[in-house]
Amino acid sequence: MASVGSHPSWLEQAVFYEIYPQSFYDSNNDGIGDIPGITAKLDYIHDLGCNALWINPCFASPFKDAGYDISDYCQVAPRYGSNDDLVELFTQAHDRNMHVLLDLVPGHTSEEHPWFQSSQQAEDNNFSDRYIWTNNAFDGYSMPFIGGESQRDAAYILNFFKCQPALNYGFATTDRSWQMSPDSAAAQATRQAMVDVMKFWLSRGCDGFRVDMAYSLVKNDSDDKKETIHAWQEMLSTIKSEYPESAFVSEWGVPNQSLQAGFDMDFYLDWHSEDTGNGYNLLARNTSNPISRADDTSYLNADSNQSARSFLDDYIPQYERSKDLGHFCFITCNHDTPRWSPRLTERERKLAFALISTMPGVPFIYYGDEIGMRYQTLPSKEGGYYRTGSRTPMQWDRSDNLGFSQAASDDLYLPVDSSSDAPTVADQEKQSDSMLSWVKQVITVRNEHPALQASSKFTLLAAPSTGRSLAYLRSSHDQSQRLLVAINPGKQTERLRLDQPLPLLENKAPEVLLGEVDIKTEHIELGPQSAAILELAGITD
């Protein structure tokens, strides 16, 4: 098993900013965001306090699934620029002491990828077994499959859309003659091909990858994902031996599995269905309707009357099982997840940022969440469906298209928010009490205090089942710095009793670093919908 000490040292102080490239900034005015546009905005991201980027897929693609259908892993899509543009982005980011993760999609390719074009030929070739094929064109399986579209007499297995044939990493258990084991030569060749892709970009300055659907490589795997874990251990150990400071974050959501597999980070994903949810979902998005406040019963909703216990009952056991293996990371949103706004108010979103930025792990901020960009109800674009509403252009200022592009509005990748009060960076930079100003303050506190680093100790102090408040302690590894974080998302003032008086800080009361709180001898009082970060006395020898 990996340990925290084996992970890239820069992750301890990392704050990530996720960029959907087609929607961030259009530098050539064709209506689509591009890589030079990201480079042009690096200073904004740096000034926000973020020192790392995750860029969604920017590789060659027919864009039937917004770039998650890759036709060439080693070529930037022309609409985003060139490979040289991406290398320049790496260089400019490194000059600012920032790191860049690309998005790796290892489970499938586009049907237009040269590998698949060769694999579907009738004659055997080096790529015949790169994908998963049945024995004949009329032979299907319980997994989605497509028959009748290839020269070879077989049907091919899909991962998601019809355009995404699944790569062959083998089957943990087999029940058909065409299924190969994870140790087969074909599965080994697929793993090596993915290692080659990672090395291609790492050698050009990339700092690592966010890995799409990392838990789903080996088919028919057991619930403990034994074979998929083994596949990743093999691939990542090869990469880490050559690039020890490279970082990997998995779309997995089960940290004791993903971190054993060799990942440095795992996302606390937003899982919600009619029948089930998880702790993150209970924290911030406990609704099936992304814009309905009435149906939202998440902890951060001031009207929900929910305590923090349900969220903590899910989170803490996972944190305890995985804290010595790596980082379990909170997100504000992502390209697959409905934005907080307009469902949560600005006040509630500020509390969410305070919590996510001070919990263990490495926080990930989705572009635009720092100004409160709103989920938009839109027709599907490039396979986005309901996700399309979280992928609209970044809102920079009050110029045409809210500063995203000088192209005609009809030529934009997606329409900008047409509301008269659409939030923009330029407006909020002028306001000391804006969402953007608050986010900068929270991130600054995090960046300036070792007690808030990714693996610094977390101790739950209070989360009464009959109240709304939550309090926890973050402590630096040597215990010399300790911060108390307290949050009350409810509409009433709440008192949190303490087991012992707060320790004095240099013979005076604890320093309030952010927010407001009334400090008493044996309790603290939090006003309605408030958060506070206090510095306590450290423990010294």
Task: Give the pLDDT confidence of 442-471 residue by residue, as tens digits.
Answer: 999 999 999 999 999 999 998 988 899 999
Instruction: Write down all domains in the chain, each with its CATH number in brackets.
Output: 9-109+185-446 (3.20.20.80), 110-166 (3.90.400.10), 456-536 (2.60.40.1180)
SS3 content of the chain, % helix, strand, coil (to 5): 30, 20, 55
Of 366-375, 437-446, 498-507, least confident by mean pLDDT is 498-507
Is the whole-model pTM more than 0.75?
Answer: yes
Indicate the range of 164-178, 299-313, 479-493, 522-536 predicted with least confidence: 522-536
Q: What is the DSSP code (8-state) at residue 382?
A: T
Strand partners, 101: 54
For the chain, first and last CA: distance in Å?
Answer: 32
pLDDT digits (tens, 9 = 90+) for 29-80: 999 999 999 999 999 999 999 999 999 999 999 999 999 999 999 999 999 9
pLDDT on residue 199: 98
CA distance 375 to 287: 14
Residues listed for the chain: 541
Confidence at 507, pLDDT banded by 50, 70, 90: low
Give the pLDDT mean for 121-139.
Answer: 97
Confidence band, pLDDT 50/70/90 cuts, at residue 2: very low
pLDDT band at 490 (very low <50, low <70, confident <90, very high): very high
Q: Amino acid identity of 384?
A: G
The pLDDT value recorded for residue 174 is 96
Which pLDDT does position 501 carry in this prediction? 63
Residues 6+ positions from 379 with CB-CB distance below 8 Å: 388
Task: Read off the pLDDT of residues 187-203 as tens digits, 9 standing for 90 and up.
Answer: 999 999 999 999 999 99
Tokens matching residue 235: 């691939």
Q: How far apart are CA 22 and CA 351, in angstroms?
A: 29
CA distance linking residue 462 with residue 126, whole number of Å: 60
> For residues 509 and 111, which has the higher predicted lDDT (pLDDT)?
111
Cα separation, 440 vs 422, in Å, equals 20
| pLDDT for residue 274 | 60
Residue-level pLDDT at 503: 66
With a cut of 60, say whether residue 505 has pLDDT above it: no
Dihedral sign for Cα 352, 354, 356, 362, please: positive
Show the DSSP H helices in 220-374 as ranges.
Answer: 226-242, 255-258, 279-284, 309-322, 346-356
Nearest to 214 by CA among 184, 173, 255: 255
Residue 273 has pLDDT above 70, yes or no: no
Does pLDDT of 271 surpass 90?
no
- Residues 236, 240, 246, CA angle at the centre, nearest 5°? 100
* Residue 290 pLDDT exceeds 90: no
Per-residue pLDDT for 137 more than 90? yes
pLDDT at 275: 60
Could you give the CA distance from residue 197 to residue 181 in angstroms, rounded to a whole number? 23
Under the banding of pLDDT at 50, 70 and 90, the label for residue 508 is low
Helix (H) / strand (E) element for 427: namely helix 425-429
Encode 13-34: b = buried (16+ Cβ within 10 Å), e = exposed: bbbbbbbbbbbbbbbeeebbbb
Is the pLDDT at 498 greater than 80? The verdict is no
* Two tokens, residue 151: 């020269």
* Residue among 175, 156, 88 at smallest CA distance from 117: 156
351 pLDDT above the threshold of 80: yes
What does the pLDDT look like over 214-224, one tens digit per residue? 999 999 999 99
Position 3 pLDDT exceeds 60: no
Is pLDDT above 80 for 418? yes
Confidence at residue 110, expressed as pLDDT on a 0 to 100 scale: 98
- Residue percentage of the chain with pLDDT more than 70: 95
Strand intervals (E) in 392-521: 457-462, 470-475, 482-488, 494-497, 511-515, 518-519
pLDDT tens per residue across span 369-395: 999 999 999 999 999 999 999 999 999
Quote the pLDDT of residue 540: 60
Q: Over the chain, what is the mean pLDDT?
A: 94
Residues in contact with 32: Cβ distance below 8 Å, sequence separation at least 6, in sequence order:
22, 26, 79, 80, 405, 412, 413
**Angle in degrees, CA 393, 395, 396, rounded to 5:** 130
